[in-house]
Amino acid sequence: MNIPVYLDNQATTRVDGRVIEAMIPLMDEVYGNASSTQHEFGWRAEAAVAQARRRVAGLIGALPEEIVFTGGATESVNIALKGVARGHRAGGRRIITAGTEHHAVLDTCRRLEREGFEVIRVPVDRYGMVDPEDVRRAMTPGTILVSIMAANNEIGTLAPVEALGALCREHGVLFHTDATQAAGKVPIDMHAMHIDLLSFSAHKMYGPKGVGALAIRGGPPAIRVIPLFDGGGHERGIRSGTLNVPGIAGFGVAAEIAADVMSEESSRLSGLRDRLVEGVSEALEGVRVNGHPTLRLPHNANLLFPGANADAVMMAMKDIALSAGSACSSASPEPSHVLRAIGLTREETLCSLRFGLGRFTTEEEIAYTIGRVNETVRTIASKTGTKSGPKSGPNAEMSRTNAQSVH
């Protein structure tokens, strides 16, 4: 077993060896520009991009021509939200989202508010779930876009994407979903789920960093997306710039692998996750799962440890890589906006840890993590006067019930 143990796979993932193998020739032998159509180097690079486009599209039930390659999910989100808002402003200025979205969505919406758009942030329940009826009630004739993430990056709750997509289609409103955490982990069919725009990234599914995609449903009716910047007209004019051929090829291989192993991998990781939750819940008082008990990502466990500050726990366990929230907000001293939105107190948010399992997580690593977490949390909680230690009687039974709620 390798130390440190890596359990921060929702921040990023280790690149699969098969992906690396596919990328190397495109940096060493086939190094042409995919837009150089006058010679073989360019043709071979273009062919690699076309193959990747088919593979990436296949993962989400899209058509190859609906895929626009970008520098990552944050760029995809910006193109989707700003591009659609500016392209459809004649039809209205209202945008609907949720307060638990990733900062890529929230900060982009704030920018659009400064441009005169109206942003409505619907609430979520105590599990982080958006109610489609709240979205329906927020719609007006001037609503042009709804953006709700497919899976929450902190607590793993899965949104009712198909219901939201159907609702938007019924009202003639465009629907965007940030599927960064969901793509490659749970089944997605863009057309069956009535998704108009979908953002995701390679590095969350064992592919390289610095490459992502925005899927834009083909018409009719046509979706008008104003590009963020100009120059060259690459990717149908939506995302100009020389294509990252090695990264795109790696993305394609990562997507194909994810599609092939999704069912088996989800089953294995959910089993390891449940073992982790049970192992700490049976040993420690008051451990609580943040997020939906069943409608959640198979590899996510966000746990509240009363009386044990998350930063203190992580500092004491440098042999295990964890996080206290989104990697994109780790520099912020403020409590998680997601955990506050589902009703946790400030103190509770500061005592919550995110465990992100992945393709390379082993049973031995989970067993090791259970022991280290139990030991560390018990020590830290005892200094705050919070009861901890072996459980027995009614509390033990309650703990086992709580742990089993994630099955």
DSSP string, 58-125: HHHT--GGGEEEES-HHHHHHHHHHHHHHHSGGG--EEEEETTS-HHHHHHHHHHHHTT-EEEEE---
Average of per-residue pLDDT across 138-142? 98
> pLDDT (tens digit, 9 = 90+) per residue, 30-46?
999 999 989 999 999 99
Q: What are phi and psi of 290, to 5 degrees?
A: -90, 130
What's the distance, Cα to Cα, between the start and end of the chain in Å? 26
- Distance (Å, rounded) from C-alpha 212 to C-alpha 252? 10
Q: Which fold has domain 17-257?
A: Aspartate Aminotransferase; domain 2 (3.40.640)
Ranges of CATH 3.90.1150.10 domains, the chain: 5-10+262-404
CB of 204 closer than 8 Å to CB of 177: no
Average of per-residue pLDDT across 148-168? 98
> pLDDT (tens digit, 9 = 90+) per residue, 94-125?
999 999 999 999 999 999 999 999 999 999 99
Which pLDDT band, with edges at 50, 70 and 90, does 275 fall under?
very high
Average of per-residue pLDDT across 142-157? 98
> Among this protein's residues, is 351 annotated catalytic?
no
pLDDT tops 60 at residue 141? yes
CB of 139 closer than 8 Å to CB of 97: no
Burial class of 355 by CB neighbour count within 10 A (0 to 12, 13 to 18, 19+): buried
Question: Do the strands 143-147 and 174-178 form a parallel or antiparallel pair, or are they unpaired?
Answer: parallel
Q: What is the DSSP letter of 308?
A: -
Amino acid at 238: I
Amino acid at 147: S
pLDDT tops 50 at residue 399? no
- Hunting for tokens 């459809």 — which residue is that? 88
- The reported pLDDT for the residue numbered 333 is 60
Which pLDDT band, with edges at 50, 70 and 90, does 135 fall under?
very high
- The reported pLDDT for the residue numbered 332 is 53
Ranges of CATH 3.40.640.10 domains, the chain: 17-257
- Hunting for tokens 């912020």 — which residue is that? 332
Average of per-residue pLDDT across 285-314? 97
- The reported pLDDT for the residue numbered 370 is 98
Global pTM reads 0.92
Which pLDDT band, with edges at 50, 70 and 90, does 92 fall under?
very high
From 109, 168, 328, 351, active-site residue: 328
Q: Which fold has domain 5-10+262-404?
A: Aspartate Aminotransferase, domain 1 (3.90.1150)
C-alpha distances (whole Å) from 393 to each of 103, 220, 280, 398 are 43, 62, 16, 9
